[in-house]
Amino acid sequence: MKHFFTVLVIVLSTCANSVLAQTPKNAYFKEVREGIEHIYNQEFQESQQIIGRLERSMQGSAIPDLMKALQLYWAQYPIQLKKDKLVLYHKFLDNSYQRSLAVLDSDPGNPEAIFLAMASQGMLAESYAESGRNFKAVGAAKRAYNYIKLGSDKMDQLKEFYLSTGLYNYYREYYPETYPVYKPFMSFFMKGNKKTGIQQLETAAKEASIAHVIAKYYLSYIYLRYEYVPVKALRQAKNLHDTYPKNLPFTAIYLESLIINDRFQEAYPIAKMLQAQNSPYLKIYGVLFMGVIEEKLQKDFVAAEKHYRNTLALNEQHKMQRSHLEAFAYLGLGRIYEQKQDPQARKFFKEAMDQASTKALKAEAKNHLN
């Protein structure tokens, strides 16, 4: 999981609190927070109005550019599939970085500027990595890491720091454990701790003023995909879905959480709704999990097979590289062909093993192959 956009939320709340200490009646903080809430709930007309006001009242500040980037990220999600929007996204992030550097030149310890720089470079690193521009991704990641180190001991000053530190602690250990090829490179970075990272993310989810939203998103993702604690994944995902019902990427994670908890009847209307979306990223969730519902609840194996094959076709057609969802589809095909006592089942289970990035899916495929 390459997501670094989370850092933006930390930055915005940090900047808002910095401004809060300097302005009467907390005017900027309130507007920044309202803007973010509108962005998360896909209310972009309202968020754009707030960004426009902030741009006029905070001339020269990097906050409006970062909010523009956040808004564009969610409005065009997944933005990597839209090249023209991606160029604009990078422009907003670069503008923010240059403005933060201007502040750091005269005030190297300025916390607001440090976090603005960390956010822009972290988000660029994620974007470059997903676009296959690895050289640029490494450069941006190195710059972001330098700023992350500066903030790792500031958690008691601001609860938002629990998010960035928790993410670092968890993924610093998760990646080399899961992908041993990365181990030699990780010796250059501070050690982490997965258990501590999860605890810090839980703290951010409960106590952070703005970062709690994305802390819950990451916790649902970690419990869903990596640690495989279905009940905890569902708790976090449901909270996000209930709070931001218009945010369909949050809805997609909620749908997957329902599926792994075998709550197929609740999942059905959500899968049907996502299946009808124009976005291939959202559609693929609906198509895939409708297949699971048809297989496991309705016992309609013909329809389920069709949906699993359509999932693979969608992933290939739009080059989404959603190997986790592919693994789900191959497992479904394997179960259907195993039930028919068709030897092709082993081929599908082997494909699932190759595509799966989580222990739970690999274990299921391995059990069928043994």
Q: Could you read off the pLDDT of 186-204 as tens digits, one per residue?
A: 777 788 999 999 999 999 8
Is residue 22's pLDDT more than 50? no
Same domain for 14 and 126, yes or no, is yes
Q: At what angle do helices 230-243 and 212-221 cross, to 10 degrees?
A: 140
Q: Is residue 124 part of a domain?
A: yes
Find tokens 């090829």 and name the residue. 181
pLDDT of 171:
85
Asked if 121 and 162 sit in the same domain, the reply is: yes
More confident residue, 252 or 9: 252
Residue 132: inside a domain: yes
Shared-domain flag, residues 220 and 339: no
What pLDDT does 158 receive? Answer: 60
**Short-list 193, 223, 188, CA closest to 205:** 223
Nearest in space to 238 (alpha carbons), one of 224, 223, 220? 220
Range of the domain at 341: 259-369
Same domain, 239 and 263: no
Report if residue 45 sits inside a domain: yes
254 in any annotated domain: no
Degrees, nearest 5: CA angle 100-103-107 = 130
The predicted pLDDT at position 86 comes to 93
Q: Which of 214, 243, 272 is the last residue of a domain?
A: 243
Residue 176 and residue 200 in contact, taking contact as beta carbons nearer than 8 Å: no
> Same domain, yes or no, for 150 and 276?
no
121 and 85 both lie in a single domain:
yes
Residue 109 lies in a domain: yes
Instruction: Tell me the average pLDDT across 263-279.
Output: 97
Q: Which tokens go with 201? A: 């993310």
The span from the CA of 260 to the CA of 256, in Å, is 6
Residue at which a domain ends, from 194, 209, 243: 243
> What's the full length of the chain, in residues?
370
Task: Write out pLDDT tens, residues 314-341.
Answer: 999 887 777 889 999 999 999 999 999 9
Reported as a pLDDT band with limits 50, 70 and 90, residue 167 is confident
Both 135 and 68 in one domain: the answer is: yes
Q: Are residues 86 and 14 in the same domain?
A: yes
Please check whether residues 291 and 203 belong to one and the same domain: no
Q: Cα-flanking dihedrals φ and ψ of residue 276, to 5°?
A: -90, 0
Q: Which CATH number covers residue 346?
A: 1.25.40.10
pLDDT at residue 14 is higher than 50: no
Residues 238 and 355 in one domain: no
Predicted pLDDT at 155: 53
Q: Does some domain include residue 250? A: no
CB 41 within 8 A of CB 51: no
**Considering the domain boundaries, does residue 83 fall inside one?**
yes
- Say how many domains are in the chain: 2
Q: Which of 213, 243, 273 is the last residue of a domain?
A: 243
What's 80's domain CATH number?
Answer: 1.25.40
- Any domain includes 163: yes
210 shares a domain with 305:
no
Structure tokens at 67: 């909010």
Do residues 215 and 269 share a domain?
A: no
